[in-house]
Amino acid sequence: MQFKPYWIETRTAFAGARQGDLPAKASVVVIGGGFTGLSAARTLAMQGVDTVLLEAGQVAGGASGRSGGHCNNGTAADLLGLANRLGAEEARRYYAMFDDAVDFVESTVREEQIDCDFVRNGKIKLAVKPSHVEAMKRGADYLAREVEPDLVFLEGDALQSEVRSDAFHAGMVMPRSAQMHVGRYGTGLADAAARHGAAIFEHTPVTRLKRLSGSRYEVGTARGSIVAEAVLVCTGPSLQGPFGWLRRRTVPMGSFVIATEPLTDEQIAASMPGRRNCVTSAHVGNYFRLTADNRVIFGGRARFALSNPSSDAKAGEILRQGLTEVFPALAEVPIAYTWGGVLDMTQDRLPRAGEHDGLFYVTGLSGHGVQFSGYIGDRMARLIGGQADANPLAGKRFSAIPGHLGPPWFLPFVGVWYRYLDWRS
């Protein structure tokens, strides 16, 4: 078993990174080489904008390359609950926006001919307790009426035809969701951005930001400084660097994943014959799917801690146990990869994008990152390029989280609360 992300280990590395010193100036500097920053750099370069992207490590080597590989439509939060909180019209707008985001990923893959196993296989949400079934039915009725006319609610034999497990009591299928190899998608986005003219520098963490005037900034790194007419910050949880304003408004949340060795046809038939993206109804739940080479990717918030070698190993054992409980038929299948990543969560689990002190930013994707990152990166690039109405998240309030100065000292307490909610439900 390797303590490395399957997606990164099984992709071809990006070969187009620039070497040497940074240029003295650029029209736009994009900070962060995940899906958001790469998509923004691609759009800016396609518009003929002189664009430099700075990535602290490898492109798509952070959260973008460490997910479960689901490209799901709709909102991660329950839509009915979101409607009660925001109003039905605004909830529908968010849902449609995330649908558009999946379409954007598909069109980008097609336009740039990215070989990443993109397929519209659908998502199934699974009820982990009998007590969850009625609430799921109400939610399914609301979804089907408002935004998901092709939704299918499953119980009994119909559910077993999708997921062969006694751990679940009902499910609802949303067929517009997709999946892909996120590592190869990230490399493909980087190749596309570079091909269109963006200059991409890897292993170049930003250490200093100095505002000059308006949106003009001097961006400092160990490789030198660069003056930009505009800066777009796409650093996810922003754990390091001069991004304190963002750190106080998002919570870094660990998420952990294992990947098995490839399954046989018999093992697939005994576990996941539907081959859909699967998520569970628990607060501390799991997500899982099959890859194109027939591995099970099984993840979740196995620990309320950030990713590090010790934490990843402990979480991997928890996930292995969870996989066996869900699919006893896979108990003897070896685990090939174990890894962790860090999500950037907002208080309301809805993303933010905008401008603060002349800096443009995207952050807090809150579990919508695989699908939404490319879309919102493109929209922010269009905003910077002069399209005033391009940002669909413009004007959303983004307050600092009380008592949160950066390090998530309260994560264990969050874990206790979520587990209590699951026990009570």
> Which DSSP state fits 365?
-
Number of domains comprising the chain? 1
Which residue is associated with the tokens 């190749």? 191
Q: Global pTM? A: 0.95
Q: Is 161 exposed, middle or buried (0-12, 13-18, 19+ CB in 10 A)?
A: exposed
Under DSSP, the state recorded for 130 is: G
CATH number at residue 216: 3.50.50.60
Q: Which alpha helices (H) appear in 350-410, and where do they start and end?
A: 369-384
Domain that holds residue 382: 6-415
Burial status of residue 234 (CB atoms within 10 A of its CB: 0-12, 13-18, 19 or more)? buried
User: Does some domain include residue 225?
Assistant: yes
The answer to the question of residue 63 being in a domain is yes
Give the residue from 73, 68, 63, 65 showing the smallest Cα distance to 102. 73
Query: Is 423 part of any domain?
Result: no
pLDDT, tens digit, 9 for 90 and up, residues 167-192: 999 999 999 999 999 999 999 999 99
- Evaluate whether residue 177 is within a structural domain: yes
**In the 8-state DSSP scheme, what is residue 425?**
-
329: nearest Cα among 296, 300, 285: 296
| Average confidence (pLDDT) over 379-405 | 94
The confidence band for 135, taking pLDDT boundaries of 50, 70 and 90, is very high
Strand 51-54 to strand 199-201: parallel, antiparallel, or no bridges (unpaired)?
Answer: parallel
Burial class (CB in 10 A: 0-12, 13-18, 19+), 327: buried
pLDDT tier at 418, thresholds 50, 70, 90: low
User: Is residue 425 situated within a structural domain?
Assistant: no
Reported as a single tens digit per residue, the pLDDT across 313-330 is 999 999 999 999 999 999
Q: Cβ atoms within 10 A of the Cβ of 349, count?
A: 15
Q: And the tokens for 158?
A: 């119909």
Assigned domain for 406 exists: yes
Taking the CA atoms of residue 160, residue 163, residue 168 and residue 173 in that order, the dihedral angle to the nearest 10 degrees is -100
Question: Is position 168 within any domain?
Answer: yes
